[in-house]
Every structure is written in C-alpha cells, then in structure tokens.
Amino acid sequence: MTTQQIQLAVRRLSTAALLAFPGALSAQGREPWPGMDAYIEAARKQWRVPGLGLAIVRNDSVIYARGYGVKDVGKPDLVTAQTVFAIGSSSKAFTAASIAMLVDDKKVVLDASPGTYIPGFQLYDPYATRELTVRDLLSHRSGLARGELAWYGSPNDRDEIVRRVRYLQPSWSFRSQFGYQNIMYITAGQVVAKVSGKSWDDFVRDRIFTPLGMATSSTSVKAVPSLRDVAQPHADVSDTVRAIQWRDIDNAGPAGSINSPVAEMAQWVRLQLNRGTFGGKQLISGRMVDEMHQAHIAIRTDSSARANNPESHLQAYGLGWFLQDYRGKLMVHHGGNVDGFTALVAMIPEEKTGLVLLTNMNGTPLPMLLAQKIFDLALNAPAKDWSGDAWKRAQGQRARAAQAQQRALAARVPNTKPSLPLSAYAGAYADSLYGDITVKEENGKLSLSFGPTWNGVLEHWHFDSFRVKFDTPVLPAVPVTFKLNAAGKVESVDLDMAGQATFRRRPDAPASGGTR
C-alpha cells in the first residue's frame, strides 16, 4: 500500500469514527455563509498565521469542519479538520468537567477543601488554606499571582508543584479579585487523580475522550511524534514566521496540555451545548454543566478590552470557562496559548451554536476575531470587520511597544561595569517555590541555567543587572539582577521571567563558582 493510500485510509477511519455519532458531520463541503472562507483566508494571511483549523457546531451537528493554510511554513502539507494542534488552556474546561463528573459521582464536593482530597495541601496564608475550596481552584479566585516558574520548564512533577505552592505569597486578598492561576488547575487535576485512583490523563481519556470518539486527542506531548497529521508550532522570530519546537508542559497537564484536531474538539462542543448529553448518554449532569457556565467571579474590564469588543459590557469566569455578553446573549469561551499555538473554543448556548478555532501561531488574536465574525453571521448581526479593525489597532500598539523599548534602552546607564569580578556572581541560588538556578563563569562570561530547559549566556546591562536570552523565541530577553549585601557579597539574584522571582545564594555555595 502506498503512503497516499495509507493516509487516505486513516482519514476514512477518522471520518467513520465521527460518523458513528448522530449529527457528527452533517456537512463539510459548503461554507455555511457566503464569503466566510474568503474572509478567514484573508485574515489568516494578514495576521501571518501559517495554518488554522475550524469546526462549527449548530443544533447538535458539525455543520462545517476544515483546515486553512499549512501545517509547517515553507512546506506544502495542508491543514485538515483532522490536523492535531495543542489547545493550551482550553484544556482547563476538561479539568473542570472531570471535577463535575466526580461531583455527579458523589466523590467530590465543590465547596470542600482541596486538603480533603490531597493530604497536606497548604497555601502560604493559613486563612486561605482553611477557606479555599475546589470551586476556588476552578474559578481563579485564590488570591495568588501565577508563579509560572514552578512548572514552566521546571523539573517538578504535578505533586511537587502542588506541594510547593505553599511558598507562593498572595498578591491580593483571597477571593477579592480574578487572578488567572495555572497552579490551582494543576491542583484540581491532582484532586481528580487522588479521588479517582487514576492519573488526570487517564481519567480524561476514559471519561471524556473515549465516549466522545476523540481517538486522536491526547494529554501529552509524548504522543505527538507518532501522529500522522499534526501541526508544527510557529512564532515570530526577528519579524519572520518560523517553525519552533513543541513545548513539553506535561507537568501542567490539567492547566493546558491537551492536543486535538477540530473534528474531535467539535464533539466536545456538542457535549457542552447539549448540557452534558452525547450520543444519548448523560456524561455530565445538566446541573453541573450549568454550574460550569455560570459566573463565579467578576472580571474587571479595562479600556483595551472595551476597545477590542465595545459591545461587551460584562465579563466573568465560571468553572473552566470565561463568560461575557455578546450581542445581547451569553458567550461561553476559553482560549489557549502554549509555545507556538493559539486556540479558542467558544459557544453561544442559547443559539445552540459553538465553534473551535486552532492555529499554529504563537500569541495571535486571530481566533477570537474570527469567532466574533462567525457568530455575527450565525446571529444575522450587522456586518463588522473584526479582523481588519483589530489589525489597525495592532499597528498603533506596535508603535507604542517600539517606543517603550526605546525608553527601556534609554534607561540603560552606559559605561558601567559589575561591582565584582564575574566569578563572584557564580554559584548556586535557590527559591523554595521555584527551586535552583546555577550561574557559571567561563571564558569571561556568565551563564545561567534553570531546570532542564532554560539555559543562556548573560549579557551585561548596567551595574549588577544583566539580560539572558533563552533558546526560545516566545520569550524576550529576561532581566537578571544580582543583589549585594552590606559586606559587598552577592546575596541573591532576581529573575524576571513569567513574574519576578528572587533566588538566594545557597549558604554552601562557593564564593566563586565556575572556572576562568
């Protein structure tokens, strides 16, 4: 059998699996609204997105599912409805649904403490430890800022990340405001694991993927090499769109590690729009779907949010879902961003309409812009060029960003040098939450390493401040500032990466690590 014949057989099997469910693929060929494909393709090219997958669900049928563009820039392979993308934080709704299933099973109580299910669970604030509930984990109201270095590129597994959250100091009062928090979702995933007796990954596979026929979907980057139809992540590198490597975020799985094609994600949308029913089976109670889709904490809207969508007045977060008004109706949605991918799942439940948009471009606003355009078409709303208007605003934002960069450069004090010989900065530094970093001096340069991923050479900025550029285009140069004590010796180093962290020199660290 030729390669082409094998690929055709695989596509037929995938389609056959989807057709096993009533209404799974009622139509794929004709665009549901004239001009939609042309609009999407023009917007994709304008925003320099290599490839995009789209599926639209209406009245329990997938009325459209197709790909646009290519899987890998510079290569001819086209995106299809079966092309796998990383969905990033759109995974959070799967974790909330897993908890909901365990509530239905009477094994988890939403208003119980996570410590009920994870012995020894603790936050920095004793009051928050006592009062925090599983509901709080799922609604971003813990009072904690992100603390991303505890998982992003770190060697910590999920249990260790959850254990270390006790060292993350609160940024504002408990339940006082919305604060997006990945570690709390990792904790929720560990609640699923402890209660069910199986990993979060296996639970999602057994209780969600399998019943929905999501046979290609996975929760781990380790499944990617075996896939035949998979997108390559991309990022803007020196004003050129280039392919980058898949990021391993398996240790943060419940917060964002799912990989899936739009054809399969459409089945997830059908489940949501049918209030937990799929193929005649009630997988999640309607009561719990309603609970996930209702507001649990308000989100303040700033001027930029109002500029992006002036017709939306209120925003909130449910359990695994963002909520806002749209054209007088409730829009339920969640985006996802992981190195090189941007995703969106969005629904208007009262219209029985939803969609999935998956792209292989880092940090692009395109999915939400296209979702708004498609919802306008579905609602027969006045025509609005969401993508074009946003592109114009983006040009102004780019100009302001360039000005900010110039101001940062102007703030750099020229002709300075470090207070001490470079060897005096070398050594081991530690933080209770984030772990260890190592600074080495070799051949007249300092280098920094953190975990299995982050390694880079330090470039002197001014005084005792440096910049490090890690081997990934999705992060800018990271400020690194050494602090000296009263005796003139290096005491700590601040690393401003996904939030600032202070690493203190280990007492047993040599005064001069590394070699000349």
In the chain, the number of structural domains is 2
Residues 343, 453, single domain; the answer is: no
- Residue 305 identity (one-letter amino acid): A
pLDDT at 399: 77
Are residues 79 and 221 part of one domain?
A: yes
341 and 228 in a common domain: yes
- Condensed to tens digits (0 to 9), the pLDDT of residues 136-175 reads 999 999 999 999 999 999 999 999 999 999 999 999 999 9
Measure Cα distances from 468 to 16, 62, 369, 442 in Å.
Answer: 50, 47, 34, 15
pLDDT at 416 over 80: yes
Token pair for 337: 């961003």
pLDDT in tens, 217-276: 999 999 999 999 999 999 999 999 999 999 999 999 999 999 999 999 999 999 999 999
Task: Using pLDDT thresholds of 50, 70 and 90, give the confidence band for residue 311.
Answer: confident
* pLDDT band at 6; cut points 50, 70, 90: very low
State the DSSP H helix or E strand holding residue 299, giving kind and residue range, or none if neither: strand 297-299
Q: How high is the mean pLDDT of the chain?
A: 91
**Choice among 382-386, 434-438, 468-472 with the minimum mean pLDDT:** 468-472
317 and 366 fall within a common domain? yes
Model confidence at 514, in pLDDT bands (50, 70, 90)? very low
Question: What is residue 510's predicted lDDT score, i.e. its pLDDT?
Answer: 53
Asked if residue 300 is part of any domain, the answer here is: yes
Tokens of 91: 């995974």
368 lies in the same domain as 453 = no
Final residue of a structural domain among 366, 399, 432: 399
Q: How many residues does the chain have?
A: 516
Q: 365, 399, 433 — which closes off a domain?
A: 399
Clarify whether residues 445 and 378 are in a common domain: no
In a domain, 334, yes or no: yes
Which helix H or strand E contains 18, and what residues bound it?
helix 3-19
Task: Find all residues with CB under 8 Å of 364, minimum gap 6, and list them.
Answer: 47, 49, 342
Residue 154 CB coordination number (10 Å): 22
pLDDT tier, 344 (very low <50, low <70, confident <90, very high otherwise): very high
511 in a structural domain? no
Residue 348 and residue 436 share a domain: no
Kindly indicate the confidence band of residue 515, based on its pLDDT and cuts at 50, 70 and 90: very low
Per-residue confidence (pLDDT) for residue 325, from 0 to 100: 96
Provide the domain limits for residue 273.
22-90+215-399
Whether the pLDDT of residue 7 is over 80: the answer is no
**Is residue 356 domain-shared with residue 254, that is, in the same domain?**
yes
Q: Can you tell me the distance from the alpha carbon of 165 to that of 173, in angstroms, rounded to the nearest whole number?
A: 16
In this prediction, residue 492 carries a pLDDT of: 97
| Strand, helix or coil for residue 430 | strand
Residue 509 is predicted with a pLDDT of 57
By the 10 Å C-beta count (0-12 exposed, 13-18 middle, 19+ buried), 332 is classed as buried
CA 388 from centroid of its chain's CA atoms: 25
Neighbours of 163 (CB within 10 A): 17
pLDDT for the residue 513: 40
**Number of Cα atoms under 13 Å in the Cβ half of residue 14:** 24
Residue 455 has a pLDDT of: 94
Lowest mean pLDDT among 80-89, 403-412, 427-436, 437-446: 403-412
Please tell me whether residues 393 and 448 are part of one structural domain: no
Question: What does the angle CA 458 – CA 461 – CA 466 come to, to the nearest 5 degrees?
Answer: 35
Answer yes or no: is pLDDT of 22 > 70.
no
CA distances from 128 to 9, 144, 191, 428, 445 (A): 54, 10, 18, 32, 44
The CATH number that applies at residue 82 is 3.40.710.10
| 79 within domain boundaries | yes
HSE-up (13 A, CA, CB side) for residue 474: 22
**Cα 294 from chain centroid (whole Å):** 21
Q: Indicate the pTM of the whole model.
A: 0.92
Query: Range with the lowest mean pLDDT among 12-26, 155-169, 460-474?
Result: 12-26
Cross-strand bridge partners of residue 439 = 427, 448
Confidence band of 306 (pLDDT split at 50, 70, 90)? confident
C-beta pairs of 41-47 under 8 Å, 24+ apart in sequence: 41/68, 41/69, 42/387, 43/366, 43/369, 43/370, 43/387, 43/388, 44/68, 44/69, 44/366, 46/387, 46/388, 46/391, 47/361, 47/364, 47/365, 47/366, 47/387, 47/391
Among the ranges given (265-269, 499-503, 510-514), the one the predictor scored with the smallest mean pLDDT: 510-514
pLDDT of residue 429: 97
Helix runs in 258-308, H state only: 262-273, 286-292, 303-308
Q: Does residue 464 share a domain with residue 393?
A: no
Question: Which residue among 351, 367, 399 closes a domain?
Answer: 399
Distance CA 468, CA 461 (A): 10
User: Does residue 230 lie in a domain region?
Assistant: yes
Flag whether 234 is in a domain. yes
Residues 277 and 382 in one domain: yes
CATH number at 491 reads 2.40.128.50
437 domain residue, yes or no: yes
Q: Evaluate whether residue 165 is within a structural domain.
A: no
How confident is the model over 76-127, as pLDDT tens digits?
999 999 999 999 999 999 999 999 999 999 999 999 999 999 999 999 999 9
* 394 and 438 assigned to the same domain: no
Strand partners, 357: 54, 344
Backbone angles phi, psi at 26, to 5 degrees: -75, -30
